[in-house]
Structure 1
Amino acid sequence: MATALLATSSTWRSGTAAQQIPLAAPSLQIIAAPATPTSANATGPPIPALDSTAYPVPSPPSAAIGTTQLNLAYGQGDAPIYPGIPVLGNFLGLSIELSVVDEIIGKTSQKLNISFLNYISALATRSGMGPILRIGGNTQDTAIYNATSTVSTDMIVKVSDHGYTDKGVPVTPSIEYNDLVFQAMQSLAQKLNTHFVWGLNMVNHTASFTELMVKTLNRYISDHVDLILVGNEPDRYPQTGNRPSDYDIPTYLDEWGDLTGRVMGDLIQPKLFTAPNVCCGWTTFSITEENGMRERFKDRLKAISAIQYPQSLCSSNGVQGHEFYLNHTNTVTFAQYDADAIAAAVANQIPYYLVETNTASCIGINGVSNAFTSAIWGVDAALQLAYRNHTGVFWHTSGINTIYNVFTPPAYNATTKSWKTGPIYYSSLVVAEALASQTNSSQVLDLQVDRDDASAYAIFENTVAKKVVLINMINDASGANTWTANIPAQSGQTTVSYKLLAAQSVDSLDGITWANQTFGYWSDGVLQGAENIKTAACNDGQCPVQVPAPGVALVFLTPDVTEKAAVPTQTFEPYGTDNPSIIVNSNGSRGNRLGATSKGSSSGALPSLCIPTDGRLWIAMAVSVVGGAVVAGFLP
């Protein structure tokens, strides 16, 4: 959890800072855990109705959006604007709260959740590389590693002090974990080349278990750990009772230095740490630059990182709904939260990561964070953060009653098609395809269409425009606000291909499609339907692409990226069966880790799916998009 920060310390590039919009009255509602299927053949109960009066959908503009002429010039003109630093296709990662990692990834390395593998596989296929998972959150700072507990069948062997305060704020549980976590991570790395950011407990910075834990982590997945994140929101330690009220940055730096110094020798690559991961009271720049962290620890600091959300339900301020997220200027303002620290990182050639974010901290906003609005905002925010020189960004996900989750496992008695796909997950698909490249050199440029309700980005490789992303944030099913963007045609170009992310309305919970494919509301992590890649004709040097209201278009500009636009489907299923009636596990009880946010968790146990005891998984790869041949076999 992080308190939201809307103000920015400086304006960077040519983004226009938004004026602060008055917030609504404070409101915090604890949402009950969603119902989940109990029948082998059902895909879930009816989708719940939402009260649209709490966060009304914005009205269309008085004047229709019409047509916009785009300029794809790279660094030209009197005031040239350049794209951000090169980024990879796995730019958008997933942040998982440690206390619920077993419910999401799986109970053991032999019992990885099939639906989770399918979701991650879809990202890997589109990005062309293994996704990055950050495992940590607030519970990393209350977590105890117990090597002797490996005789237990539970990955998370102790959970206590979970639930909510009398004010409805989630309480961070204390947990104990063992080697099963690392074994599951190892299995995931082997199957999908997944890489990890691992969170290290800094609240107990002198703990005797830390060195053994790091050695064990190194033994299992040393070549797949990209970063070790030391301390989660240390600027909040006094507020959480983990440090005295006079705790300050110099004391923090001494503790951080002592802890990392103790474990450096246990790592194959000692320069593996990222910090300071602050959110609220301190600024990254004050720690890394003004107090000298970057220079002092240059022998071990691999990256700079922070935690930030645009809004928070744990704040004394209220939150805004759809109109806040469907406003490009607000997104530009949010993306500049750490502009001075990022500029310093870029100048000193050190990566900068936003290791935890989502729509709103403290479970999210019901009817907004779990609606199509979050998908639109997710695309806009991710590309804006890439434009502003982030190396990577991680959507946070937690327990089953967390509204903003990327995807949510079932509570009990689940079928394979009982995971709930968060609309924001679709943004990860779009961004993965947009940033994937054979050269690993995608650079994002905000084309600045000078509207609050629309945005456009060009994706360059070595100064050549390869793709364009168009985002129409208007809600108007009538078609009157379908946006036409004129994209300059390249020499001899007669058509462009594009995909659409669409839904009936910004408050839609279901019916979201990416290139005509959908997970549905309840899912097994596999896209359903035939992929549909559209074509727009080019005339008189322009290629007009129409984007529905609301919707997102990914446009492929050159032959080399167009020929890779079609994405095959890779799925995991136990023993090769596609019969959901036999892929059932009924654990007969409801769990107790309902999970809420990175601030805390009160959650429900996720049953293991019926996977072969030898751990083998069957994989089917569709060779063509529609009706292709299938190659099948067991993974080790």
Structure 2
Amino acid sequence: MLFPSILFSSCLPFLTSASVTVYNQWPLGDATGTASPANSTAAAYYDPTVLTPPPVPSPAIPTQFSLQLDSTASAVKNLSIPLSGHFLGFSIEFSVINQLIGLNASFLQVPFLNLMSSVAQHSGQVNIRVGGNTQDYATLVSSLPDGEMIQKEQTGNTDPTETPTLDFTAEVLYMLGNVSALVNIHWYLGIPLNDTANLRMGIAEVGEAVLGPKLIGFQVGNEPDLYAAHGHRNSSYSPSNYFNDFGLVVEAVNDDADIPTKNNLIAPNLSGTWTPESVWNTSFIPAFMNSLGALAVEHYPNDNCNAEYGIGSPVNVQDVFASYLNHNAGKSIIAPYLNSTQIAQTAHLPFLMFETNTASCGGFPGLSDSFGSALWMLDYALQMAYSNFSGAMMHVSGEDVYYNPFQPPPRNESTYNQWTVRPIFYATLAVAEVLGNSNTSQIVDLQANADNIYTPAYAIYEDGECARLALLNYVTDPTGASTYTATFSIGGGATGDANGTPASVQVKYLLAPSVSEKVNVTWAGQTYGGPFVSDGRIQGEIDIQTVNCDQSANTCAVQVPAPGFALVFLTSAAFSESDPTTTQTFSTTSLTSRNTATVPAAVLATSNGHSGSTWRLGSTSPENNGARALAKPDMAGLIAMLFGAMAARRVLT
């Protein structure tokens, strides 16, 4: 495995932006009085909003219940399809990749590499979709002014969320390739669909050439059921029109010798305005079977669009908080797609949740950045897995977004602040360990505790054997009275299995003081800390509990705090997957005004990745585009002079 060399440089004052932004700087300082609230440019990670946890349910949850587990998968009804540990990945808005992934192909974000490595060490790989609203208005160009990798402009796009037109160079794809040379990341990209009379297939042509097997599919159209509402098509645009548009892309792919893979297109990527069945009823699947790599949808359970854009009705976040904190939350999202997951299995195609998070238009303050969102995402992901989805992508966007699992600091603070890792990111770690890296895991919802909505539980079978138990507690109760004990038995039940309860089990806990907590979150005793402190490496001593079982009674009792999540390892093989002997991390090799890693020469030689590029901040969904702070136009030249050896020319292979 390749590691960047270590080289630290002093901070360079002439590389910092001269612009000044006024923030409500929590926890760094009090709100400034120099800008009125209406004109404040406070970013989401400065927002001090903390919600009140929902009260303890009345009647209180049962705090003692039993679970009878079959020892082998063959005895289990309603078990899911086989699943991969990389089930829960990320969807990154195209327009912010230079903030989150890297400045260019040579300078990569160290915290991003470390975060992805921490997931990959348990899941085997990480799947990332680069796309979103901006992918339909993205154009691959040969070059951009000042050597930029990506550039956004407002050119009359009527999208209510102010999605810009996006120009990008092949440098973007070299950057993704260099990331995959360091961490086992696979990529989904999107073919633009805003102009079917002039299809732009460059991202597919160059993407296949640069990324090779690390490229796993192309999304065709992002939320086409919103095209009419957003002014991208006429008001009568329908599933049959999408069928025709998709057919044009299929024809273009089949006729393009520079796109060798013909069967990795992903559709229909609906937002929920159309039902999936309205697309299936056009004979979509049989018509395009030879071109499809997966079926996909996108879904947010709520939206904050009124607060951001004045669209729709206002939402009182405190009022909706409780609706996220029970087992029905994820089940209600998935219910409209259960028929489609069966259709996908019949067609032998994966079914994906291609973009999701707590709420569209940036999420909710105090909810999307709370520990409650981590429990919600964890349960929601496991419910998708149980319902025969094959994967899901947690969306990541700009700095004004509350639901981001990770976020770099503003550029004018990046010399002294690090990244912010929010509670919802921990759900990705937990899901990876729940499913493991064998690609054979199957999961079942145990309908635990008389199907109590606050105490869901899942059993996971790996290679046909009962391997793990996942237990959640949504209740916040500082008295400890709502901590529950789940007593389970393996085998010896109604199925007649032999006694299978082990002598002891290991348990990892995901914990916080309340569902409203934003900072004090731990996974097996370790944490990424609060705002502006993370380099992407989890910190602290790992804490794994050993629980002794009663083999004579064939029982084992595990406590789950309120709130919290417990992952119980039932076999030594399952635990060994979750306990790697080494962890790959990355260090900063050079310091601009944002910590980045240079890619070693050996990687550049084999991946053809290199460029000196300036970069531009800004985002979509929901942030306005006129970036808050822009790097100096001559930044790339200065970096090249200071750190050298970056003038190798590229040739597409």
For this structure pair, what is the TM-score category when the shorter chain's length is used for normalisation?
0.7 to 0.9
Question: Given the alignment, which residue of 518, 530, 533 partners 2:541?
Answer: 530
Distance 2:442 2:314 in 1: 36
The superposition leaves residues 123-163 of structure 1 with CA deviations (integer Å, 9 ceiling, x where unpaired) of: 11111x220110000111111221243x7432112332699
Structure 2 residue identity aligned to 1:65: P
The equivalent of 2:576 in structure 1 is 563
Question: Given the alignment, which residue of 511, 520, 535 partners 2:520?
Answer: 511
Q: How far has the Cα of 1:76 moved from its partner?
A: 8.5
Q: How far has the Cα of 1:71 moved from its partner?
A: 2.1
The equivalent of 1:285 in structure 2 is 277
Equivalent residues in 2 for 1:217-256 (5 A)?
Answer: 217-256=207-246
The equivalent of 1:88 in structure 2 is 84
Distance 2:288 2:615 in 1: 46
Distance 1:206 1:117 in 2: 39
Distance 1:430 1:601 in 2: 34
The equivalent of 1:545 in structure 2 is 558
The equivalent of 2:422 in structure 1 is 422
Distance 2:167 2:74 in 1: 56
Q: 1:216 to 1:186 in 2, by over 3 A?
A: same
Asked whether 1:295 is paired with 2:297, we answer no
Q: How far has the Cα of 1:477 moved from its partner?
A: 1.6
Distance 1:37 1:414 in 2: 16
Distance 1:164 1:503 in 2: 42
Equivalent residues in 2 for 1:608-623 (5 A)?
Answer: none
Q: Is the 1:401–1:603 Cα contact (8 Å) retained in structure 2?
A: no
Distance 1:410 1:156 in 2: 20
Equivalent residues in 2 for 1:353-368 (5 A)?
Answer: 353-368=352-367
Q: How far has the Cα of 1:513 moved from its partner?
A: 0.3
Q: How far has the Cα of 1:200 moved from its partner?
A: 1.3
Q: Is the 1:307–1:356 Cα contact (8 Å) retained in structure 2?
A: yes
Classify the secondary structure of the residue corresponding to 2:247: helix
Classify the secondary structure of the residue corresponding to 1:336: helix
Larger Rg: 2
The equivalent of 1:623 in structure 2 is none
Distance 2:23 2:515 in 1: 23
Structure 2 residue identity aligned to 1:520: G
Distance 1:213 1:250 in 2: 26
The equivalent of 2:529 in structure 1 is 520
The equivalent of 1:66 in structure 2 is 63
The superposition leaves residues 568-625 of structure 1 with CA deviations (integer Å, 9 ceiling, x where unpaired) of: 43211124x9x9999699xxx996514434x97565468799896558xxxxxxxxxx
Distance 2:165 2:333 in 1: 32
The superposition leaves residues 327-351 of structure 1 with CA deviations (integer Å, 9 ceiling, x where unpaired) of: 1022211122312211111122111
Distance 2:519 2:513 in 1: 9
Question: Given the alignment, which residue of 149, 153, 157 partners 1:159?
Answer: 153
Structure 2 residue identity aligned to 1:399: G
Q: Is the 2:92–2:396 Cα contact (8 Å) retained in structure 1?
A: yes
The superposition leaves residues 211-244 of structure 1 with CA deviations (integer Å, 9 ceiling, x where unpaired) of: 3332111110121111100100111111111111
Q: 1:155 to 1:527 in 2, by over 3 A?
A: same
The structure with more helix, counted as a fraction of residues: 2
The superposition leaves residues 478-523 of structure 1 with CA deviations (integer Å, 9 ceiling, x where unpaired) of: 1111121112156362110010000111111101000000001131
Structure 1 residue identity aligned to 2:475: I
Q: How far has the Cα of 1:462 moved from its partner?
A: 3.5
Q: 1:102 to 1:505 in 2, by over 3 A?
A: same
Distance 2:62 2:88 in 1: 30
Structure 2 residue identity aligned to 1:558: T
Distance 1:117 1:612 in 2: 21
Equivalent residues in 2 for 1:398-409 (5 A)?
Answer: 398-409=397-408
Structure 2 residue identity aligned to 1:517: Q
Equivalent residues in 2 for 1:27-66 (5 A)?
Answer: 35=25, 50-52=48-50, 55-62=51-58, 63-66=60-63
The equivalent of 1:135 in structure 2 is 130
Classify the secondary structure of the residue corresponding to 1:396: strand
Moved more, 522-531 or 308-317: 308-317
Structure 1 residue identity aligned to 2:362: I
Equivalent residues in 2 for 1:582-601 (5 A)?
Answer: 593-597=618-622
Distance 1:46 1:246 in 2: 37
Distance 2:105 2:593 in 1: 24
Classify the secondary structure of the residue corresponding to 2:203: helix
Moved more, 359-368 or 411-420: 411-420
Classify the secondary structure of the residue corresponding to 2:107: coil
The equivalent of 1:177 in structure 2 is 168
Q: 1:533 to 1:333 in 2, by over 3 A?
A: same
Q: 1:163 to 1:234 in 2, by over 3 A?
A: closer
Distance 2:644 2:574 in 1: 41
Equivalent residues in 2 for 1:341-360 (5 A)?
Answer: 341-360=340-359
Distance 2:92 2:77 in 1: 36
Structure 2 residue identity aligned to 1:548: P
Distance 1:357 1:46 in 2: 18
Question: Given the alignment, which residue of 254, 257, 260 partners 2:247?
Answer: 257
Identity of aligned residues (%): 32
The equivalent of 2:189 in structure 1 is 198
Moved more, 311-320 or 382-391: 311-320
Asked whether 1:104 is paired with 2:104, we answer no
Classify the secondary structure of the residue corresponding to 1:338: helix
Structure 1 residue identity aligned to 2:441: S
Distance 1:614 1:366 in 2: 45
Q: How far has the Cα of 1:81 moved from its partner?
A: 2.9
Q: Flag structure 1 segments of 5+ consecutive residues without an equivalent.
A: 1-31, 40-44, 616-636
The equivalent of 1:464 in structure 2 is 465
Q: Flag structure 2 segments of 5+ consecutive residues without an equivalent.
A: 1-21, 30-42, 306-310, 491-498, 598-613, 647-653
Classify the secondary structure of the residue corresponding to 2:585: strand
Distance 2:182 2:239 in 1: 41
Distance 1:385 1:429 in 2: 16
Q: 1:399 to 1:47 in 2, by over 3 A?
A: closer
Q: How far has the Cα of 1:463 moved from its partner?
A: 3.0
Asked whether 1:499 is paired with 2:524, we answer no
Q: Is the 1:37–1:418 Cα contact (8 Å) retained in structure 2?
A: no
Moved more, 353-362 or 461-470: 461-470
Distance 1:214 1:76 in 2: 42
Q: Is the 1:65–1:482 Cα contact (8 Å) retained in structure 2?
A: no
Aligned residue pairs total: 561
Distance 2:395 2:23 in 1: 18
Q: How far has the Cα of 1:122 moved from its partner?
A: 0.6
Distance 2:235 2:359 in 1: 27
Distance 1:434 1:371 in 2: 21
Distance 2:98 2:566 in 1: 35
> What's the TM-score once normalised by structure 2's chain length?
0.80
The superposition leaves residues 516-544 of structure 1 with CA deviations (integer Å, 9 ceiling, x where unpaired) of: 00001131111010111111110121111
Distance 2:61 2:229 in 1: 48
Equivalent residues in 2 for 1:272-421 (5 A)?
Answer: 272-288=264-280, 290-314=281-305, 316-317=312-313, 319=315, 320-412=319-411, 413-415=413-415, 418-421=418-421
Q: Is the 1:186–1:220 Cα contact (8 Å) retained in structure 2?
A: yes
> What's the TM-score once normalised by structure 1's chain length?
0.82
Q: Is the 1:37–1:415 Cα contact (8 Å) retained in structure 2?
A: no
Distance 2:645 2:69 in 1: 53
Structure 1 residue identity aligned to 2:196: H
Q: 1:51 to 1:195 in 2, by over 3 A?
A: closer
The superposition leaves residues 412-444 of structure 1 with CA deviations (integer Å, 9 ceiling, x where unpaired) of: 131475211121100000001111133x11111
